[in-house]
Amino acid sequence: MPELDDKRLSFKLVYYGPAQSGKTTNLLRLHDLLAPELKGEVMTMETQDDRTLFFDLLPLGFRAPSGLLIKCRLFTVPGQVAHDGTRKAVLSRADGVAFIADNQRNQETNNAESFRSLTENCARVGIDIEHLPLLVQFNKCDLPTAVPEAEIRSRWGSTPWPLQFASALNGLGVRESFATLLALLYRRQNAEYALAEQHGLSEAAFVAGLLGQA
Amino acid sequence: MNPSGFDREWQLGELLDSAQLSRLGAALASLLGGDCAIADGNGQPLLGHIAPTARRQAIALELEPVAILHSASADDRQLAAAGELLHAVLRAQVRFRMASALHLEAIAEDFESLKREHAHLLESEARYRKLAAELDARVKAQVAQLEERQQMLYEAEKLASVGQLAAGMAHEINNPLGFVRSNLASFQRYLTQFAALRGRLSADLAAWQELDLDFLVEDGGDLLRESDQGLERIARIVGDLKAFSNVDRASEAFTDPNDCIRQAAAVIEAQLPAGISLQLDLLPLPSIVCLPGHLKQALFNILRNAMQAITDSGQPGTIKVSSEATVSGLYIRIHDTGIGMRPEQIEHAFEPFYTTRPVGHGVGLGLSTARSIILAHSGTVSLSSQPDAGTTVTMTFPAPP
């Protein structure tokens, strides 16, 4: 849930998905591509053979016209099945989720399994997935083994979640995915925190503030 | 908000305790030329005194300053270098704190998962225990049923072998019976002819009278009649034996058992003495595949016993026949208000040739015949009775599939 004091409002966004689907790569590319007013370093906690054991953290922020500091902290979960307890702890208190799927045909089972674990863990940590800002990104679209976009759209088209296609390694679709998630986050939180009314933040300004296009 | 979550924004006071801070402060003071003060992100001094002329260097871990380094004695370059050092220390600290806090949360989560799984396991263990107990009970029940069926089969076999013996005997007896009866009939005619001789001997009856042939002719006729009655009785017994052993096989038919009851009741009703009434209380039954002739025979035998039991009591009485269909099968009950039976009589009631009647008034095949017929229809028959209070015979048949 967002943390608010009189000077700052902090959101937590979680990059969730199966092992080696590109969650950390998304974060690293975002760090390179975005230029918000405030941008921290990517904090990589602990890795083993280049695989996340705990989490990665990228902090971003900008100041609203009202002077309120809007902070957005992006976390990744460890994708490996064994780290479910860690995954659940990282997912706790999330305000939005980017589900990073590995869009290769032989990874479909892993994607489905990970998505199932997302819904289960949401329920366990008290997140209502029905109302959670959630974006689904199909990553590694540049690979020859990738499932064609049309097929994905026909299969996922009926779900309520926006779909994005990306090649995180090449920086493609990463920024768009994040922007889509931010728009969902704004729509979910605007009323509660009076972002437009009290802080002069429109949806476009909110997204632009964190992307760095202001 | 979760102030204990690993993902909170850590404050300087949490990252370094006062002992760590003072050791670090002392080291930094040496590097900075003597003066060093450290405040947290909100400007609150945690170490040293902030001189009015001090230069300041903010140190951010994420976006906002988490510590502010002050020194009046250092130049910009020194302050920036010391700031870098402090930043490196704090960065290492925050990584360690976040990792250990997350680790604790993850452990707690894993423990919760284990507890949930443990609860599931306990639940399923209880379920399997229950299932095992149920299976055990079912096996026991089936074994008991098998034993009971085996016992019944054994009894039926026993009866069948008796029946075979009886059938053989009946066959063997029938032949001599036939020619003895035929011979006796012929002899009766001869005796009549012999009696006619007396008319021819009108003058000289001395020899006739001397030999007392009048008595001989008269008594001879009586003897022959008696013998004939005796033979008839033997023939009837043999007939019963044949029926008992199912020698005359009838054909199976799809029949309403109530019809069999009505037909058997009609036969017995014609034989009822005054003072005995018959009452039918029949509920609808499904038709079953049976040997109607045999079934009627069985019912007739039991009805005849009921009639005799009431006759024996010397009082007026009622035979009540009821039938009903339940989920467990078809039930037919024949109740009489007759003399009843003692426990030892009940014990032997279904055995062949067991009878309480004087010799010549029953061979003791009625109930055993009835029983073998009912067993042949996959049914059961039981008897409950109290002396002087009457008897109830209960027959059950499996419901048609």
CB contact under 8 A, A83 and B106: yes
Neighbours of A192 (CB within 10 A): 10
How far is it, in rounded angstroms, from Cα B398 to Cα B152?
15
Contact between B6 and A89 using a beta-carbon 8 Å cutoff: yes
Joined together, the tokens standing for residue B52 give 């009015």
Q: Testing the interface with B: which of A90, A91, A127 to mutate, by most B Cβ within 10 A?
A: A90
B88, B115, B142 - which closes a domain: B115
- Assigned domain for B293 exists: yes
What value does the mean pLDDT take over residues B332-356?
A: 85
CB atoms within 10 A of CB B356: 16
Element (H, E) at B96: helix B76-200
Number of CB pairs, chain A paired with chain B, less than 8 A apart: 70
Averaged pLDDT for residues A154-179: 93
Backbone angles phi and psi of B220, in degrees to 5: -55, -45
Tokens of A1: 């849930």
Q: Once rounded to an integer, what is the mean pLDDT over residues B191-201?
A: 82
**What's at B159, amino acid-wise?**
L
Residue A50 buriedness (CB in 10 A; 0-12 / 13-18 / 19+): exposed
CA distance B101 to B90: 16
Cβ contact (<8 Å) for B106 and A38? Answer: no
- Max intra-chain CA distance, chain B: 188
In Å, what is the CA distance from A191 to each residue of A130, A132, A185, A197, B227?
Answer: 18, 15, 11, 9, 120
DSSP state of A168: G
Instruction: Check residue B211 and give its pLDDT.
Output: 80
Find out whether B390 and B309 touch, Cβ atoms under 8 Å.
yes
Nearest to residue B323, comparing CAs of B308, B313, B337, B333?
B333
Mean pLDDT value across chain A: 91
CA A90 to chain centre: 12
Taking the Cβ of residue B84 and every Cβ of chain A, the question of whether any pair is shorter than 8 Å is answered with no
Task: Provide the 8-state DSSP code for A138.
Answer: E
CA–CA distance, B149 with B146 (Å, rounded to integer): 5
The tens digit of pLDDT for each residue in B209-249 reads 888 888 888 888 899 889 988 888 888 777 766 665 554 55
Are B256 and B401 found together in one domain? Answer: yes
Q: What pLDDT is recorded for position A46?
A: 65
Query: In chain B, which residue's Cα lies nearest the Cα of A5?
Result: B1
Tell me whether residues B95 and A55 touch, CB distance under 8 A: no
CATH number at residue A86: 3.40.50.300
Region of A50 (left: φ > 0; alpha: ψ -120 to 50; beta: rest) is left
Q: Do A54 and B2 lie within an 8 Å CB cutoff?
A: no
> What per-residue confidence (pLDDT) applies to B246?
52
Strand partners, B60: B65
Looking at residue B296, its pLDDT comes to: 83
Write the ipTM. Answer: 0.84
Average pLDDT of the residues of chain B:
85
The structure tokens listed for B320 are 């009540």
Q: For an interface test with B, which of A4, A5, A44, A57 has the most B Cβ atoms less than 10 Å from its Cβ?
A: A57
- Residue B49's pLDDT is 87
What is the reported pLDDT for A188?
Answer: 94
Identify whether B364 is part of a domain. Answer: yes
Q: How many domains does chain A have?
A: 1
Q: Assess if residue B136 is contained within a domain.
A: no
Residue B62 lies in a domain: yes
More confident residue, B208 or A21: A21
Tell me the three state secondary structure of residue B89. Answer: helix
Residue that is last in its domain, among B94, B115, B136: B115
Q: Do B7 and A93 touch (CB under 8 A)?
A: yes
CB B10 within 8 A of CB B41: no
Domain that holds residue B16: 12-115
Which of A1-5, A186-190, B106-110 is predicted least confidently?
A1-5
- At which residue do the structure tokens 């053989």 appear? B168
Partners of B397 in the beta sheet? B330
B88: contact with A, CB 8 A cutoff: no
All residues of chain A having their beta carbon less than 8 Å from the beta carbon of residue B7 are: 12, 57, 73, 75, 90, 92-93
**Within-domain flag for B223:** no
Interface of B with A in 100-119 (CB under 8 A): 102-103, 105-110, 113
Query: Over the stretch B147-163, which tens digit does the pLDDT of each residue have?
Result: 877 777 776 666 666 66
User: B208 — contact with chain A (CB < 8 Å)?
Assistant: no
Closest CB from A55, A83, A93 relative to B5: A93
Looking at residue B1, its pLDDT comes to 41
A61 has a chain B CB within 8 A of its CB = yes
| Structural domains in chain B (count) | 2
Contact A55 B102 (CB under 8 A): yes
Evaluate whether residue B288 is within a structural domain.
Answer: yes
Average pLDDT for B8-29: 90
- First CA to last CA distance, chain A: 26
Q: What is the pLDDT of residue B319?
A: 94
Question: Residue B301: which pLDDT band, with cuts at 50, 70 and 90?
Answer: confident
Please report how many Cα atoms fall inside a 13 Å half-sphere around the Cα of residue B355, on the Cβ side. 13
Take residue B197 and report the two structure tokens written for it: 């001789």
CA distances from A77 to A17, A19, A133 (A): 8, 9, 17
Least Cα distance to A190 among A38, A9, A5, A7 occurs for A9
**Measuring CA to CA, which residue among B299, B166, B298 is closest to residue B242?**
B166
Residue A174 domain boundaries: 3-211
pLDDT > 70: percent of chain B: 91
Q: What is the CA angle B3-A68-A191, rounded to 5?
A: 85
> Could you tell me if residue A67 is left (phi over 0), alpha (psi between -120 and 50 degrees) or otherwise beta?
left
Using the 3D structure, point to which of B58, B93, B115 is the last residue of a domain. B115
Is B190 part of a structural domain of the chain?
no
